[in-house]
């Protein structure tokens, strides 16, 4: 990696990867106990609420993450104004969504899941502080991100263990999601204030910059909306056809493959994105070399994840989960190959951001969503949770690999890079 990436890039990746490995270790220890304490039905309810609210995530985040990082790299003197404007844009969006959700559940329709919806919505408010991460990522100060996330992780895992030992309900564990974001944001704030990076009292919203950021991020908002719908389709169909128990089973598979595994690849790509953006701006030959190197690393990691769960998936479920989660064995063997495909798509998306071709992100996810809906409708009634896993895997392949070869310009760029 260091042959094309600098020592600073390597250090940034090291901190991100170390954070994910620690999360992996603690996740193996505590999360199966939470799943067993709550049972498949309550876990299914929590994941269903997260999936429904996840449909609003593009409006919570406004597609600003990658755009702001890129703009800070390209225009470092405007960093503070970019962050302030992004923060106020996201705050306004959160207020509008929170008011809408509150009115819906307390005035229009009552639901037994209302408290979960409100708690998870509040967690997005505390997530506003991740605008600080835009700056830290652009500056490659990933050690601060590591300190923040690991400090929060220690506190949250301790509270989760307390909840497991005292058999506390699903609302308690939902509140810990919000607390996690609050702790991280507070640590970012105090560290940046101590380092005197910003004068927070002077943060002002810029209408001109705000319009510019939204214009640049609009394709990402649309594609992110499609992604969240794409991700949530399976939970919605499982809920409709099979109920909360099936969602609880699928949540187990997603936890093992996504939360514990492909987040490592996601963190590596995010940590190295600033380096990719810099090279794209200054040195096209070095940019191509970095893309190729990162592609090889992601393929190897994806293969290792697939092999790991193929060989040891059943043993992991038998060891760490109760018998009620035994149904997860077959879908896990299918879904464990998704990271290999997803990593390629993540890298492709970063390239689209650099080249200002984000409209292609919209096209590929429209196609992916269409296939996922059709496949879920056809396969879930027949093969249940395994049908959902097949639908997701096939639609991932179409979105992240087949589209690249179908699009003439992307195909030419692929040939030129490799």
If the chain, 418 residues long, is cut into consecutive pieces of 10 residues, what is the mean pLDDT of each piece? 66 72 72 77 77 79 82 82 89 90 77 80 86 80 81 87 85 87 86 73 82 86 76 79 82 81 79 82 82 90 92 88 85 92 90 83 87 92 92 92 87 71
On whether the CB atoms of residues 55 and 232 are closer than 8 A, the answer is: yes
Tokens of 183: 């702790």
Burial tier of 409 (Cβ tally within 10 Å: 0-12, 13-18, 19+)? exposed
- Predicted local distance difference test score (pLDDT) of residue 109: 67
Give which of 56, 81, 177, 186 is closest to 130, Cα–Cα.
Answer: 186
Residues 6 or more apart from 267 whose CB is under 8 A from it?
13, 16, 17, 19, 20
Burial tier of 105 (Cβ tally within 10 Å: 0-12, 13-18, 19+)? middle
- Predicted local distance difference test score (pLDDT) of residue 23: 72
How many angstroms separate the CA atoms of 290 and 5, rounded? 7
Question: How does DSSP classify residue 256?
Answer: I
The CA-CA-CA angle for residues 285, 411, 71, to 5°, reads 55
How many angstroms separate the CA atoms of 388 and 94, rounded? 31
Give which of 310, 308, 275 is closest to 294, Cα–Cα.
Answer: 275
- Predicted local distance difference test score (pLDDT) of residue 44: 74
3-state helix, strand, coil in the chain (%, to 5): 90, 0, 10
CA torsion angle 78 83 89 92 (round to 10): -140
On whether the CB atoms of residues 173 and 163 are closer than 8 A, the answer is: yes
On whether the CB atoms of residues 403 and 357 are closer than 8 A, the answer is: no
- Three-class SS string for 317-352? HHHHCCHHHHHHHHHHHHHCCHHHHHHHHHHHHHHH
On whether the CB atoms of residues 350 and 223 are closer than 8 A, the answer is: no
φ/ψ of residue 169, rounded to 5: -80, 180
Task: Give the CA distances from residue 136 to residues 11, 143, 287, 328, 412, in Å, rounded to whole numbers and listed in that order.
Answer: 13, 9, 22, 38, 34
Give which of 177, 167, 44 is closest to 118, Cα–Cα.
Answer: 177
- Predicted local distance difference test score (pLDDT) of residue 303: 94
How many angstroms separate the CA atoms of 296 and 317, rounded? 30
């Amino acid at each position: 990696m260091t042959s094309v990436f600098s020592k600073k890039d390597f250090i940034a990746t090291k901190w991100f990867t170390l954070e994910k490995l620690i999360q992996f270790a603690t996740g193996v220890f505590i999360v199966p106990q939470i799943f067993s304490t709550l049972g498949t039905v309550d876990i299914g309810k929590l994941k269903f609420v997260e999936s429904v609210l996840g449909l609003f995530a593009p409006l919570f985040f406004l597609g600003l993450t990658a755009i702001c990082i890129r703009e800070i790299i390209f225009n470092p003197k405007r960093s503070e104004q970019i962050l302030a404007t992004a923060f106020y844009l996201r705050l306004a969006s959160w207020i509008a969504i929170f008011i809408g959700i509150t009115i819906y559940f307390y005035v229009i329709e009552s639901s037994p899941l209302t408290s979960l919806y409100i708690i998870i919505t509040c967690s997005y408010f505390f997530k506003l502080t991740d605008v600080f991460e835009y700056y830290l990522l652009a500056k490659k100060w990933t050690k601060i991100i590591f300190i923040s996330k690991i400090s929060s992780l220690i506190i949250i895992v301790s509270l989760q263990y307390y909840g497991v030992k005292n058999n506390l309900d699903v609302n308690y564990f939902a509140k810990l999601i919000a607390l996690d974001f609050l702790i991280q944001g507070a640590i970012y704030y105090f560290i940046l204030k101590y380092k005197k990076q910003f004068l927070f009292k002077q943060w002002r919203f810029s209408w001109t910059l705000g319009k510019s950021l939204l214009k640049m991020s609009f394709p990402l908002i649309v594609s992110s909306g499609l992604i969240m719908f794409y991700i949530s389709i399976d939970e919605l169909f499982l809920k409709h056809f099979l109920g909360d128990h099936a969602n609880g089973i699928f949540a187990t598979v997603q936890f093992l493959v996504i939360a514990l595994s492909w987040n490592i690849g996601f963190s590596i790509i995010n940590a190295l994105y600033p380096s990719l953006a810099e090279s794209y701006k200054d040195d096209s030959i070095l940019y191509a070399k970095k893309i190729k190197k990162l592609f090889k690393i992601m393929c190897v990691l994806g293969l290792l994840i697939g092999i790991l769960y193929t060989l040891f998936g059943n043993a992991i479920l038998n060891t760490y989960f109760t018998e009620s989660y035994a149904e997860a064995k077959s879908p896990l063997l299918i879904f464990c190959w998704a990271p290999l495909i997803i990593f390629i798509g993540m890298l492709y998306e970063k390239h689209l951001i650099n080249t200002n071709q984000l409209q292609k992100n919209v096209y590929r996810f429209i196609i992916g969503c269409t296939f996922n809906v059709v496949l879920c409708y056809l396969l879930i009634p027949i093969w249940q949770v395994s049908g959902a896993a097949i639908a997701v895997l096939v639609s991932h392949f179409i979105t992240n690999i087949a589209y690249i070869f179908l699009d003439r310009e992307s195909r030419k760029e692929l040939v030129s890079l490799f």
